[in-house]
Structures are given as C-alpha cells and as structure tokens.
Amino acid sequence: MKLVMNMLVLVGLAIALIGIGVDFLLPRASPGFGLPQLLLVGAGLALALAAALLRHDDHRRRLFVALKGKIFTASVITLLTLLALEIVLTVFGMPTYFPLELPDTEFQIISWKTCDENGCRLNYEAITAACAAGELSGRTCIVNRQGYPNSKDFVLREEYDERFRIVAVGDSFTQGSTADVGKSFVEYLDAALPATEIWNLGIGGTGTVHGLQAYTEYAPSFRPRLSILGFTMNDFRDNQQLNFPGIQLRDSEGNIHFPRYPQKDRWGNPIHLTQEFVLSYAAVGYMPPMSDLEALVGSTRLGTLALRILDRIASIISDRPFEGQAEITRRYLSQLRDAALALDSSFLVLLIPRLEDIEDPGQEFAHSIKLMEELGIHYLYPISLLTTDDYVPAPDRHWNNSGHQKVGALLRACIETLIDGGNLGECEYVVMP
C-alpha cells in the first residue's frame, strides 16, 4: 500500500508540473495561467498531498474506520437528492440544453455556395434556377458564371491593359448585402469610374482567409493596380474556418435554414463533426453537441446547469481564444499584403466598423487598427463619417444605401488620386501606418 501511495504522490506532482509548464509543452498555448491550468495544478497538488498523508498506516486506518458503513449511505442520499432535483426542475419546466428527441423532419439540402482551396463562390446554376423559380430575388440573383457578385463574367480583354484595374475582396459588405441593386460601394465605383475595370470577389459569410484564397486565384490574371480588402470585425472569428460549408436547408413548408457548424469547442479546441450529425440538430434550431457524452449530459436538467456553468466560465476566459484568432488574422493579412506587393499593386484595407463600433469601438476594432499599423498596411478609416443611420437596424446591421454611397464616394476620390499619379497616403480618411 505504501508503494501505491508513493506512486500517487509522484503522479500528483507530475500533474501539477504539467499544469505549470503547459505553456512550454504546447507550442500554440497562450502565456499566463488560465482557469483550466489552475484546476490542473490544484488537482495534482491535492492528489499528492492526500497520497502523502495516506502513506502512514495509522492515517489510513482512521480514515477507513471513519468511512466504514457510511459510504453506501452517503451514495444513496446523494443519488436520491440528485433525482429529486431533476424531478423538481422538470416539473417547473426547465428546458434541457439539447432536445430530448430529434424530430423526424425531412429537409432538402441546397448548395448555393461552394468552398475549396481557391476560396468560396456562389453556385451559378443553383442560384440561377432559384431566381427563375422565384425562390430568390434582388441582389442575390446578381452572380456571374465564376460564382461572384458581378453582372458580367470575368473575361480578360486586351483593352484592359490600358484601364485602371481594381480587385475587391471581402465578405457580405463587399458583396453588397442589404444595399439595393446598383447601390453597393463596388457598384458605385463601377458606375462612377467608367475608365476603370473592377472585379468583385466578395462573398458573404467569409473572412480574410477567403480574400487571400480568391486573390491568389484571380489577381495574377487581372493584374490589378489597386487591391481592396473589406475587413469586418467578425473576420477574426471567420478566419478560423478555412472552408465555410455553404449549406442551406429547405423544410417541408419551404422555409430556408442556415445551419451553423461549430469549428471549435467552448475551450477553443478544434472539433470535427459529420454533416449528418450537424444537420439533425439544425433541423430543430440547435447547435450540435461537441460529443456523445455532452449530448447525454445535456439531455438532463442538472447536466444542463453544469453545461451552462461551463459556458459561463468559457466566456470569462474568452480573451485567450481571441489571441489565437488575432494571430491567425495577422498571418492572412501579411500574406495578402505580400501577394499584392508581388503584383506591384497598391494594397488598401477598408476597415468596416460594426453598428455598435460607431459609438463605442470594441476590442476587435481597436486590434484591427493595431494590426494594420504593425504590418505597415494603408487602411481607410471612415468611422467618423458613418452614423447609425447608415446601417440596417438589428439584427442585420449591414450598411444600407447611404453607408455604401458614403464609402463609395471616399474610394472614388482616392482612386482618382491614384489614376492621376498620386499615392494612397494622399487620400482622405486613408491612414498611413
């Protein structure tokens, strides 16, 4: 027995040392002690201390005598108490974390978007058919055969060599979401600068990583004089997701659903879930569980309380995952900057503030400015020009026509400066790092 306790002391100390040195053992770990590390160190020290005390025969004897006959009673009382609590919570109608039973609902999978190593694109054939059937209308129906939000196909002509060429990459803001047809900032530029050629590679629901992939695919052929990245604050999050699934579901009543695919668990660790598993929960509007064990725990009321507590703890230490998001975003920004420089193209980042950033810029907006300055990237900073009236009300929060027109006018003046032989530093609202 003493040998066993000695081994447990060593195991406990080893666990504590692993907790202390995890930053050095894991190359991607963030520096500093977080709650999981503290719990690991505490558990290791507790195990080592308990084992050290139980090495002595008299300590073990007193413990066994004290516990003899009480373990069974304590176990029964604990189980009955937990059962009673579960019944009380059920009577009061407390919902479970996950549905108790998944309904047998028929869904049709619609692929209006496809993603691969060259970025994300719209499915031209599927969208054209949906628009013809009246399922889609307006801006959504503006798509070329390459799958991008342009009214004309990407065709290179000899006369383009004499034109000022522009490539825009980004997400739904760059694509023109919620603006009327012809009113997005890219369409504004296309109409206001007839001597230029503009290619819009913006796709909603994507991040900087998509911009890098699409730019690498098309820009060498387009040879742009100016490259514009529309950078939104959710890029930090979206950049952790290399290939957005792009799947929609249509239920038996014709309603369209957009299932969310968790890429990481609540602690920021990557997870891999099958499409069938995700869609079964998306049918009832739930994020899927991270594992079968979590699904079992989340089907009880007490387990739901435990999962809610874990969610709260994860949100308190959520600044640690952001450090990883920021580092990934830095890498994509630097690669996109270098790709533009390799093509002798001026590179400009359009910083797109969220609705809430207009009155109180958040952590992501402040960090995006820091990244631009550290990477030596020129950025357009229109936050003082925009007002809350330039946004579609919540929950959408994209620019309306006026927001797009204001930004389009700024970019137009800047592009005219470049055409006349100037540089980005001479443009109004453009900040030189």
CA 236 to chain centre: 6
Cα separations in angstroms, 291 against 156, 274, 419: 49, 11, 56
pLDDT at residue number 120: 86
Q: Please give the backbone phi and psi of residue 372, each rounded to the nearest 5 degrees, phi first.
A: -60, -45
Report residues of the chain scoring pLDDT below 70: 1-2, 4-5, 18-40, 53-54, 57-74, 103-106, 241-248, 251-271, 274-276, 279, 282-285, 315-321
Quote the CA–CA distance of 307 and 297 in Å, as a whole number: 8
Cβ density class 210-249: b for 16+ within 10 Å, e for less = bbbbbbebbbeebebbbbbbbbbbbbbbbbbbeebbbbbb
pLDDT at residue number 90: 86
Quote the CA–CA distance of 53 and 271 in Å, as a whole number: 40
The CATH homologous superfamily for domain 157-240+320-431 is SGNH hydrolase (3.40.50.1110)
Quote the CA–CA distance of 109 and 130 in Å, as a whole number: 13
- pTM here is 0.69
* Per-residue model confidence as pLDDT tens digits over 319-354: 556 777 888 999 999 999 999 999 999 999 999 999
* Per-residue model confidence as pLDDT tens digits over 86-143: 888 888 888 888 887 776 666 777 778 887 888 888 889 989 998 998 888 888 899 9
Q: Please give the backbone phi and psi of residue 379, each rounded to the nearest 5 degrees, phi first.
A: -140, 145
pLDDT at residue number 29: 43
Q: Residue 103 class from Cβ within 10 Å (0-12 exposed, 13-18 middle, 19+ buried)?
A: exposed
Q: Please give the backbone phi and psi of residue 149, each rounded to the nearest 5 degrees, phi first.
A: -75, 65
- Tokens 């009543």 identify what position? 253
